[in-house]
């Protein structure tokens, strides 16, 4: 018997069909071991010795592999064809060797697609494990561990409120924060444009004022309304004749097939998918044999695939859509390694695969791959120039037509930022014609700051800089969101204050290690290790030699010293120039109460950084770590908002460490309510409404208990009998009616173990063959799990949610159901009092037994 090891059960099931009875295929379910998350797992003083630990939830599965290996004549390691796949194979081999279960013959095989031909061909060309790839994995894993486990304690002790930092995540966060700073510094300029609405032979078209008083108009030439209205009047009074018609041919060539990065970018633009969701869908398509391996930097398809694509083009379109010669591509991305093919369909006669979001992504991959081998698109751009009788004023109209669509017939690439001057169709027009003037517009504009990053543009920028690897971008972005360093609004990244403070700390004290050049250079060195041109331990030695002393240096500083440096470093952000000309650091409370010396500065507290007055504790003014007025926080000046209409008590607006809030009354009897961020015009009426929460809607028609609407721990919701139904916003608390509330609570009750709002499934599958319940992959309080509505089964800790397949979900749920319901821990019954015993001589105390924990 020959034993084959792959990562997932879906992959195992498919491959076993191809290989025949002599082969047994088992899944490792991803990585089988990792560095224990504790100090000392990587020991630089011992030549970077590393401790590895088998995952607890893999004990049973690996025993199955170990038992099978003992009876196998050959071990075939067939994990994914990249560095992570090589590492999994190495871990499996090392563990089997340690257990003395390693067969005498061990081979490594790789294939780029899970098809019968690809698998059988790979089995004919086995090789040994690639030690260079394994060394690159060890170096990267040790680097990330040393960076995180050495720097994070520094943050906890010297930057209160900080969580942790990662090698690549910190640099990605810096990009987002720098863009935020650029937007804050940006000062918009006003400018105007003049547009003539024209018509010729029944076709309407637009022409913009191109020259005015004999001079070409630049973007900011018409800088105010007065100048624009004068130019508008000149166009209205002029008679414009066509004097020049210029026609230019244009060519557009197709983009190459997808890499991991470009697939994530296009899926974000065209389908609205996050990077992590795109990779989950791609993983499923790969394991189903629909596409080639989805973690790749390569842009080229192999010869047989190119031939198949050209055949498909010939069948679907006419011969003119097929170029004479095949197209060949090379990558432009920094650090790209083209060891693998681009992402493409495994079968070009199959234009659909999967269902739901997987089908949408497959369609994108299919069209992009087909288009990459299609003919050039031919366009024609026409520019029409019209002048008035004086020759001093000139209008221009441009139009573009597609003469031959070429690859446009299959696919057009998306872009993050649209061109403001979109070109339309022009009528058939000749020199000497005088188009009818229907209207003239003078339009006001303002220059725009650089746009915030979307997932697509952030991935693109990281790739351009050579930071990280495309296969890890999804997890990098997710980590930033999980740690609340950034948030997403309208598919754009906004830096949270905690993220900005962390970035400032790292830029000031660890500038070299968050520099773009350093991080990209580290990727270059890791690539050299994987190519066998550099030793991995020398790379670690060079890093540790500089990094460790720097962390020790910062640990010696007092928190107050760190805060003082950050106060100076962030001065432009925290204390911008005031319109009234006063010192940006002046304390408004001291100014109001007539105290001298009231200047604001950054301070560190138990729950993070904040702005406070130098006269503390005499002056109690504080402000969140933010710009003045950001998120409605102007500082703790205890502004009186008025009196409650029923109680007559004063209502004050205050600011605390968790943000602005309102308070009614004083002392222990005071009632408080946080001010939600979704209330723009916050006034006394809103303050009264918030302080009067929860709002009782009435008794539930079944239980008879009150249904309440309010602001709870998880946001605005209605609740009854411990069930919460999520509301869309704060305003809905005061608008929701009884019928809607009952429906929301019923939905919450139908969610097994649900608390609050319904969670969107990470992934959906078909029905479970036994229970016939629809299977879903959900994110739970203790991690991801699969459920059929009756049985919940937690996925192994080392397994990524995106790696879970339908077959795996069935297996996990079936195993969990077979164990029966979880036994609840019984509460110890209260001991009955025994009758008092006769007193005995005191016995010697036994030594306490040591705990096994």
Please name every residue paired with 720 in a beta bridge, in sequence order, or none if there are none: 723
* DSSP run (H or E) holding 441: strand 436-446
Q: Map residue 317 onto helix, strand or coil.
A: coil
Cis bond before residue 694 (omega within 30° of 0): yes
DSSP state of 273: -
* Token output for 650: 């004063």
* Token output for 79: 């994990």
Residues 6+ apart with CB under 8 A from 513: 147, 167, 170, 506, 547, 550
Q: Map residue 844 onto helix, strand or coil.
A: coil
Q: Map residue 721 onto helix, strand or coil.
A: coil
Site of tokens 């009616």: 737
Please name every residue paired with 695 in a beta bridge, in sequence order, or none if there are none: 709
Residues 6+ apart with CB under 8 A from 848: none
Q: Map residue 291 onto helix, strand or coil.
A: strand
- What does 466-496 look like in DSSP terms, one character per residue? T-S-GGGHHHHHHHHHHTTSEEEETTEEEE-
* Token output for 554: 């910062």
Closest by CA to 443, choosing from 624, 654, 191, is 191
* Token output for 840: 């005995």
Q: Map residue 140 onto helix, strand or coil.
A: helix
DSSP state of 823: P
Give the end-to-end CA distance of the chain in Å, rounded to a whole number.
41
CA–CA distance, 470 with 358 (Å, rounded to integer): 20
Per-residue burial over 322-341, b = 16 or more CB atoms within 10 Å of its CB, e = otherwise? bbeeebebebebebbbeebb
CA–CA distance, 742 with 482 (Å, rounded to integer): 32
Q: 778 vs 366, 476, 487, 741, CA distance in Å?
A: 29, 20, 21, 25
Closest by CA to 483, choosing from 153, 796, 40, 170, is 170
Closest by CA to 84, choosing from 457, 538, 471, 352, is 471
Catalytic residues, by residue number, are 293
């Amino acid at each position: 018997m020959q034993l084959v090891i792959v990562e997932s059960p879906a992959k195992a099931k498919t491959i076993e069909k191809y290989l025949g009875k002599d082969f047994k295929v088992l899944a490792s379910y991803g990585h089988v071991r990792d560095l224990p998350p504790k100090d000392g797992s990587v020991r630089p003083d011992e030549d970077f010795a590393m401790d590895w630990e088998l995952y607890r939830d893999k004990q049973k599965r690996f025993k199955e592999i170990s038992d099978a290996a003992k009876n196998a004549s050959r071990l075939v390691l067939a994990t994914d064809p990249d560095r992570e796949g090589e590492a999994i194979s190495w871990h499996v081999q090392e563990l089997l060797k340690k257990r003395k279960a390693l067969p005498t013959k061990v081979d490594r095989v790789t294939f780029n697609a899970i098809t019968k031909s690809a698998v059988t061909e790979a089995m004919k060309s086995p090789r040994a494990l690639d030690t260079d790839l394994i060394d690159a994995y060890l170096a990267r894993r040790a680097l990330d561990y040393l960076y995180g486990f050495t720097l994070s304690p520094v943050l906890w002790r010297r930057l209160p409120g900080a969580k942790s930092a990662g090698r690549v995540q910190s640099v990605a966060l810096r990009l987002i924060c720098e863009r935020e700073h650029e937007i804050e510094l940006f000062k918009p300029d006003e400018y105007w444009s003049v547009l003539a609405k024209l018509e010729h032979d029944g076709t309407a078209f637009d022409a913009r004022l191109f020259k005015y008083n004999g001079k070409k108009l630049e973007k900011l030439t018409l800088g105010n309304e007065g100048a624009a209205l004068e130019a508008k009047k000149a166009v209205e009074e002029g008679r414009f004749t066509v004097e020049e018609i210029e026609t230019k041919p244009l060519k557009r060539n197709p983009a190459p097939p997808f890499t991991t990065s470009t697939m994530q970018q296009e899926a974000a633009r065209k389908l609205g998918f996050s990077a992590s969701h795109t990779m989950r869908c791609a993983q499923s398509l790969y394991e189903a044999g629909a596409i080639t391996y989805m973690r790749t930097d390569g842009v080229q398809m192999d010869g047989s695939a190119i031939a198949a694509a050209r055949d498909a083009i010939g069948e679907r379109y006419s011969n003119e859509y097929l170029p004479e010669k095949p197209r060949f591509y090379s990558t432009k991305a920094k650090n790209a390694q083209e060891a693998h093919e681009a992402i493409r369909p495994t079968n070009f006669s199959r234009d659909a695969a999967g269902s739901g979001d997987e089908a949408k992504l497959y369609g994108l991959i299919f069209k992009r791959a087909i288009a990459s081998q299609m003919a050039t698109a031919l366009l024609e751009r026409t520019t029409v120039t019209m002048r008035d009788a004086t020759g001093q004023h000139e209008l221009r109209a441009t139009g573009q037509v597609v003469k031959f669509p070429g690859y446009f017939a299959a696919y057009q690439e998306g872009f993050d930022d649209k061109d403001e001057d979109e070109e339309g169709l022009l009528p058939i027009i000749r020199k000497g014609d005088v188009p009818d003037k229907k209207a003239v517009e003078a339009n006001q504009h303002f220059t725009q700051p650089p746009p915030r990053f979307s997932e697509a543009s952030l991935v693109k920028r990281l790739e351009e800089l050579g930071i990280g690897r495309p296969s890890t971008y999804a997890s990098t972005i997710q980590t930033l969101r999980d740690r609340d360093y950034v948030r997403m609004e309208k598919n754009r990244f906004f830096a949270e204050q905690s993220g900005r403070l962390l970035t400032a700390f790292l830029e000031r004290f660890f500038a070299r290690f968050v520099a773009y050049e350093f991080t990209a250079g580290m990727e270059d060195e890791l690539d050299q290790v994987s190519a066998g041109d550099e030793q991995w331990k020398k790379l670690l030695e060079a890093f540790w030699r500089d990094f460790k002393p720097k962390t020790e240096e910062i640990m010696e500083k007092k928190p107050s010293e760190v805060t003082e440096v950050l106060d100076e470093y962030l001065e432009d952000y925290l204390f911008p120039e005031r319109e009234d000309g006063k010192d940006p650091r002046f304390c408004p409370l001291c100014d109001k109460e007539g105290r001298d010396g009231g200047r604001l500065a950054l301070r560190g507290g138990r729950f993070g950084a904040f702005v406070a007055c130098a006269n503390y504790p005499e002056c109690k003014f504080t402000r969140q770590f933010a710009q003045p007025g950001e998120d409605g926080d102007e500082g703790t000046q205890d502004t009186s908002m008025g009196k409650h209409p029923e109680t007559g008590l004063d209502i004050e607006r205050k600011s605390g460490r968790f943000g602005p809030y309102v308070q009614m009354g004083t002392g222990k009897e005071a009632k408080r309510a946080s001010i939600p961020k979704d209330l723009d015009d916050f006034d006394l009426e809103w303050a009264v409404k918030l302080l009067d929460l929860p709002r009782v809607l009435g008794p539930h028609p079944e239980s008879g208990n009150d249904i309440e609407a309010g602001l709870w721990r998880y946001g605005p919701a209605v609740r009854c009998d411990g069930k919460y139904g999520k509301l869309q916003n704060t305003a809905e608390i005061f608008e929701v009616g009884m019928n809607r509330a009952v429906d929301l609570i019923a939905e919450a009750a139908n969610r097994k173990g649900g608390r609050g709002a319904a969670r969107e499934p990470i992934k959906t599958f078909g029905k479970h063959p036994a229970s016939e319940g629809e299977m879903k992959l959900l994110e739970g309080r203790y991690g991801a799990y699969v459920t059929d509505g009756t049985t919940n089964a937690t996925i192994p800790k080392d397994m990524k949610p995106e790696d879970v397949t339908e077959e795996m979900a069935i297996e996990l749920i079936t195993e969990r159901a077979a164990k029966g319901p979880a036994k609840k821990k019984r509460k110890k019954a209260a001991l009955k009092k025994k009758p008092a015993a006769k007193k005995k001589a005191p016995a010697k105390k036994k030594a306490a037994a040591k705990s096994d924990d």
